[in-house]
Structure 1
């Protein structure tokens, strides 16, 4: 018996081709910026602007060089340290647009290793705006900055003196530096500021330094106004607290209000109240910024985390979404609860909430996206740095410390990770919640 084939509708193949093509286009359009952002977060500050664009970041190099002090009028540890700091900071300032991951200096005198000094790239990025903001290289500049370098432990300096052991490397001072050393290291060999003479130079690729832009964020610090330094983890924790508390309040207030409009208020009054909440969506945030600030000021909540949280605890769109979802739940279950003598509050917590995981997930994710990335309101209401969220802190660091685009990209990667984790883990609940809110096409 011949097997009958499935009846194919006319144009079915064309519809499939178009559907898959459109889906593929949007997938690629979404992935390309993400890949570029991750790649740029591991680049140096010049490669990120190169043309044509480089998708694969260049592996940073650790530059090691030896300074010879034979015949130099220098003997005290502080003099060697000053010379080592000048060799590292002034040279690196001229190499700041190259993929340098770390710099190591070895001081040698009369065949003995006198000191060793080193500094990774992230410490240079953190200290550059304060230590070497310009190209000026003099003893006076470094003497003024040396105390700050020591206090913040930006550079490691290990003075060995006469106990450093015999130097086993090349003993001939380089007459000409290798071409790969670059013009900055050639400047070091010709410098009249650094007393040591360049003896050897080597460059080795270091994969670990690819992630230094992320470490920079953790090392950037601000002042809480009381003389205490606070760093990026503090600002990130402020964002976590603000976002977490806001989500809880949105679910509580929006859920109870939506339940009341859907099942407790008369239909005509409920319709007008719903229209009122929906109308609030059309009011631009900038239009209520000043009245909102004055309200927070009257409540003495300016410069507090509660001042950032409270304006986001009851959105009209959230109440509208909850109402649309609750209206489609079976009313027989609610009636059964009322017959059994359960209060409306008990019905909400024992019947409505367990059945409404999809809409609660949708609202939580929507609130997270808006509050986690918000910048304007925290900037207005937060006066001191101890209540800044990470978005405000990044803006300040970018302006005050001249953070490069590569560091900003690393901050965007960190900000994107929680959102990606939430969306991928709650995808099914989000799809189900959207399909039952009354907003489906």
Structure 2
């Protein structure tokens, strides 16, 4: 007779976390540690240094994530409206009594700690959309409208702060989760089409080529709507009107942007117009990244970083410090860590016991991936500066804590997946 030792004895005190994805957690810890090293490096020339706070918040976040990993997913699903309501209340409080900095009201001062509710609103949005799409198919008009109805209040509250970067993250999360919930790709393209039409209409091309491209795009979207929507020619007409309206959407969006946001876009197009003013950040960031070469100048040895040429480098522009001091190889290591985090999130999404857990994982995947692409894109000059932090690396207590809370919910999905008894 063969005796089997129950795994509870094997795992010991770790048994409650036996299903946690430790590889994912290890990649998150390594990324957090890299952030602490280069926050320290970018602040060596200053009296204050936030690297220890970064590690402390990471430790608190880890503790909260491990606690959440033991909570059944049904608890998250049952409390999503409470969390959503609290999140919206905090965003409203920012508009009423928020702390203003750099032209935007985004913080609540609570006992000497500046809380940024928009960071936690991302996690609230993922949780709420996962619960909605678990109950209502993303392939139905009802499901899509339910998601948009839940997204609209926090989206516009954040947009009025103003916080354009977080608003874009909301869009990325929503579209990715809808796609994962089986919303047809053609429908998602139609949702994005007015914005694309607005950009095409405003392109400064010679001989009015922008108008030709915009018209062809509009016609193509009308055909897509006609072929994919259940309304036939009525849907096609709607797609046509939607993209014709995109011509005025660009001017409307431009009019609601704050002056500093307009300046960021203009400097992205030509930062050399104001090399000592609005274009200074981007120019110095590109110099630092280029100076890193293959192997970098050495940790704590980067001239642009140590001489403080890039203001507030420990937050949005921390990738330039990493690239200057560790070069292409160090940057590649960081990107591989983000790749590993994304891969593990996708694997959890694929192996989750039900749609709710799968959608939670894919929502966090979309949030992290979009922020990584935009942050690195803006530091190397491929995208406009949006003030978006690099997840787990940039200094930002609210952003770090929110990411770990989202990670804790995903670890719960992994921890409670069906498994054999032995």
Please, what TM-score do these two structures have when normalized by structure 1?
0.24
Please, what TM-score do these two structures have when normalized by structure 2?
0.25
Q: Which has the larger radius of gyration?
A: 1
Identify, as 1 or 2, the structure richer in strand: 1
Which is bigger in relative contact order (C-alpha 8 A, separation at least 6)? 2
